[in-house]
Copies of this chain bind each other. A is one copy, B any other.
């Protein structure tokens, strides 16, 4: 499937080679799409906004944008972006390679996202969020930014690399989640979370060191750092690097 005859593609858009664009999808003017990109049906790509300062939407090579998704102009995504369906992504996001944006995620823009980040269904990311490489955030979790809503202050959440935020967590403004930390499902996080620790609850409290959580697969090996045993969706060169650390 190349470019559908029912798609509406601006002649001003810059589009790479080997592109597929689905039915009823709109590609606006201020868009730069790399090679080998597939955009499914019913999408709205490059929606104009004065908040973009005129910057284009840039989608890296080898990306897949699933149906009914909405991207504004003014954000930049590295190669191998993959989205679920019905995602909304606003301006001024700077994202690395290999980002997954799950179905119904809402990225409000003005945020920084590292490489190989995974955002599952319905994750909601607000302005000034800063998400490190290999971070994983699960279903319906929210990174907030207003310490006393409504106000004129914006205190973004910072999530350090390899950290995991499980399902249905609310991270309060200005909180930092440390490297390799785990936030248990259903937590409300008010305070910074130390690296390599597990917190849980409403409000979230320290539970244990990450390494104390054991795999339930019979091996009784530590479940964290997860990079030791979980490699699905990461390229060989990355997992080789991880294994060289843990085998050392």
**CB-based contact A124/B140 at 8 Å:** yes
How many copies are assembled?
Answer: 3
User: What are 5 of the A-B contact pairs (CB < 8 Å)?
Assistant: A44-B67, A104-B106, A152-B232, A153-B216, A168-B170
**CB-based contact B136/A149 at 8 Å:** yes
**CB-based contact B8/A230 at 8 Å:** no
Point out residues on A near B: beta carbons under 8 Å.
6, 8, 23-24, 26, 40-42, 44, 47, 67-68, 70, 84-86, 88, 103-104, 106, 108, 118, 121-122, 124, 136, 138-140, 142, 144, 147-153, 155, 164, 166-168, 170, 172, 185-186, 188, 201-202, 213, 215-217, 223-224, 226, 229-230, 232
- Contacts known (A88-B86, A139-B142, A201-B202); A164 close to B149, Cβ less than 8 A: yes
**CB-based contact B153/A217 at 8 Å:** yes
**CB-based contact B124/A121 at 8 Å:** yes
B124, B152, B155, B216: the one contacting A147 at CB < 8 Å is B216
A134 to chain B, nearest CB (A): 10
**CB-based contact A149/B166 at 8 Å:** yes
Chain B residues, Cβ within 8 Å of A202: 186, 201-202
**Apart from the given pairs A24-B24, A122-B124, 11 other A-B contacts in the complex at a CB distance below 8 Å:** A67-B70, A86-B86, A88-B103, A104-B104, A136-B149, A147-B216, A148-B215, A149-B166, A152-B232, A153-B215, A201-B202
Chain B residues, Cβ within 8 Å of A6: 8
- Contacts known (A124-B122, A170-B186, A185-B144); A136 close to B164, Cβ less than 8 A: no
